Amino acid sequence: MRRRDKNSMKKEKLIMLMSSVFVLSALTVTGVYVREKNAAEQDGYIVDLSEMEDQVTQKSEDIAAQQKKDQALENDLDYDPEFYAADSANVQNPGLTEAEASPSLSEEEQAKAEEEETESIEQTVSQTSVPAAQAVHFSEADGLQWPISGNVLLNFSMDKTIYFPTLQQYKYNPAIVIQAEEGENIVAAAEGEVIRIYSDAETGQTVVMNLGDGYELTYGQLDNIQIYTGDYVEAGTVLGTVATPTKYYSVEGCNVYFKLTKDGVPVNPLGKLG
The CATH number covering residue 190 comes to 2.70.70.10
In a domain, 156, yes or no: yes
Report pTM. 0.53
160 with 250, same domain? yes
In a domain, 97, yes or no: no
pLDDT digit string, tens, across residues 192-249: 999 999 999 999 999 999 999 999 999 999 999 999 999 999 999 999 999 999 999 9
Per-residue pLDDT, 131: 41
Per-residue pLDDT, 95: 46
Per-residue pLDDT, 140: 73
Structurally, how many domains does the chain consist of?
2
Given 73, 89, 119, the domain boundary residue is 73
48 with 159, same domain? no
Burial 196-228, CB ≥16 within 10 A → b, else e: ebeeeeebbbbbbbbbbeebbbbbbbbeebebe
In a domain, 16, yes or no: yes
Q: Identify the domain containing residue 55 by its residue range.
A: 2-73
In a domain, 68, yes or no: yes
89: amino acid identity, one letter: A
157 with 260, same domain? yes
pLDDT digit string, tens, across residues 167-186: 999 999 999 999 999 999 99
| Cβ 233 vs Cβ 239: under 8 Å | yes
In a domain, 170, yes or no: yes
The C-alpha atoms of residue 210 and residue 134 are separated, in whole angstroms, by 11
In a domain, 248, yes or no: yes
178 with 267, same domain? yes
Q: What is the mean pLDDT of residues 62-72?
A: 65
Percent of the chain with pLDDT over 90: 47
Angle ∠(15,20,24) on CA atoms, nearest 5 = 150
pLDDT digit string, tens, across residues 147-160: 999 999 999 999 99
In a domain, 133, yes or no: no
165 with 68, same domain? no
Given 73, 103, 119, the domain boundary residue is 73
Instruction: Place 142 in a pLDDT band, splitting at 50, 70 and 90.
Output: confident
Per-residue pLDDT, 258: 98
Residue 135, SS3?
coil
pLDDT digit string, tens, across residues 2-29: 455 556 666 676 777 777 766 676 666 6
Residue 34 has pLDDT above 60, yes or no: no
In a domain, 88, yes or no: no
| Cβ 136 vs Cβ 212: under 8 Å | yes
Q: Which residues contact 255 (CB under 8 A, 6 or more apart)?
A: 150, 153, 177, 178, 179, 180, 221, 242, 245, 249
Dihedral of alpha carbons 186, 189, 191, 192, sign = negative
Per-residue pLDDT, 153: 97
The C-alpha atoms of residue 192 and residue 230 are separated, in whole angstroms, by 10
The DSSP symbol for 226 reads -
| Cβ 243 vs Cβ 265: under 8 Å | no
Per the model's pLDDT, the better-predicted residue between 196 and 56 turns out to be 196
pLDDT digit string, tens, across residues 103-121: 455 666 666 666 666 555 4
Per-residue pLDDT, 183: 96
Residue 102 has pLDDT above 80, yes or no: no
